Amino acid sequence: MTKILWAGADKTTDKFLPPLRTALRTVLPNAQLIVGKHQPKEIEYLVYAPNGPVQDFKEYTSLKLIQSIWAGVDVILSNPDFPKIPLARMADTGMAEGMSDYILGQVLRHHLSTDRFTAMQPGQWFNTETPILARNRKVAILGLGNLGQFCGKRIATQGFKVLGWSRSQKTINGIDCYAGQDGFNAILSEADIFVLLLPNTTDTENTINRDAIARMKKGASIINAGRGEAIDDKALIDALETGHLSQATLDVFRTEPLPKDHPFWSTPNLLITPHVAAETRFETACDFTAENIRRGETGEPFLALVDRNLGY
C-alpha cells in the first residue's frame, strides 16, 4: 500500500484533504493518506509545505517524492537539511489560470491607463488622446516557466505583441523569445509593459535595478507577481517619482505583509495588492499531486521537478 503523508500547514488542511482523498481514490485506490501520527520510515510521498509539521527529515528514509503545495520553492531550498530526493513544485492548471487572470487584468489596466480617470474631478473631461491598439503594445514576460508561458500565451490571444525572456533559449508559439544578457538588454529597450514572473534565486535578485530601468522606454510600466526580490525597491521608487516609469503593480514584496512604514505605500502611480495573484486552487492542486504520486508508482517521470542547481 502506497503511504502518503499530509505535511501541509494546519490552516489549509480542511480545504486540501477532501479533494486530495478524492483525487487519490481516482488514480490510486489503494493509497493510504496519513494525517498526524505516523511512522516516518514508512512514508513514501510527502505532500509538503515548509510551514507544516515536518521540519526534520532524517527518519524519512523511504521517500520517493516531496510534492510541494507551493509554486515557489526558494523557502524550501533555503533549509540546509532538506533531503536530496526528488522535489516537485506545484504547477496545477488552476494556479496558472488564476495567475493569468490577474496578469491580463493588470496588463489591460496599464495598457488603457485607466488609473488617470480615478483622479478626475467634477467637470473634467479629458478624452483627447487616441488609445494605442493592443497590437501596437509590446508586453515582456520575464520568466518563462509554467506560469510565464501560460500568461504570455493568453496575453497574445488579446492581440498584444508578447516578448519573453528566460535564462536559456526557448521556442514558444505566440511569444518572441529572448535569452541571456544580450536578450535581456534587447527586451528592455523594446517593451512597454514588463511582467515579472521570476523565481527567487541569487541570479534573479535585483534583475530590475537602476541600470535595467534606465534602459527601459520612458513611460514603461512594471507588474511583479513573481518574487519581491527581483526588483530593487529604491530604484523602482525613484523611477516612479521622476516619471521615467509611468506606473507599477506589485503583488509580491521582500517582506510580507508589507510593513506599514514602507515607502511603497506613498509612492505615486504604484498599486499594491496583498499577494493574491495566484492562490492555490485546491481541486486542481490535488489532481496534480495525485497524478505525480501515480507517476511515481508506475515509473513515469515526475512533473515539475525542481532543479536544485538552478533553484527552481
Q: What is the pLDDT of residue 56?
A: 94
Q: What is the pLDDT of residue 126?
A: 81
3 state DSSP class of 90: coil
Q: What is the pLDDT of residue 128?
A: 77
Catalytic member of 215, 244, 254, 275: 275
Answer for the pair 87, 76: CB distance below 8 angstroms, yes or no: yes
pTM of the model: 0.92
CA distance linking residue 32 with residue 20, whole number of Å: 11
* Distance set, CA 75 to CA 220, 299, 311 (Å): 31, 28, 10
How do residues 115-162 score in pLDDT, each as one tens digit?
Answer: 988 888 999 988 778 889 999 999 999 999 999 999 999 999 999 999
Q: What is the pLDDT of residue 13?
A: 93
Taking residues 54-76, report their average pLDDT. Answer: 95
* Known active-site residue 111: no
| 205: confidence class by pLDDT, cuts 50, 70, 90 | very high
Taking residues 184-207, report their average pLDDT. Answer: 97
* Known active-site residue 244: no
How do residues 6-41 score in pLDDT, each as one tens digit?
Answer: 999 988 999 999 999 999 999 999 999 999 999 999
Answer for the pair 163, 175: CB distance below 8 angstroms, yes or no: yes
Q: What is the pLDDT of residue 246?
A: 97
How do residues 236-249 score in pLDDT, each as one tens digit?
Answer: 999 999 999 999 99
Catalytic member of 110, 111, 137, 227: 227
CA distance linking residue 110 with residue 123, whole number of Å: 24
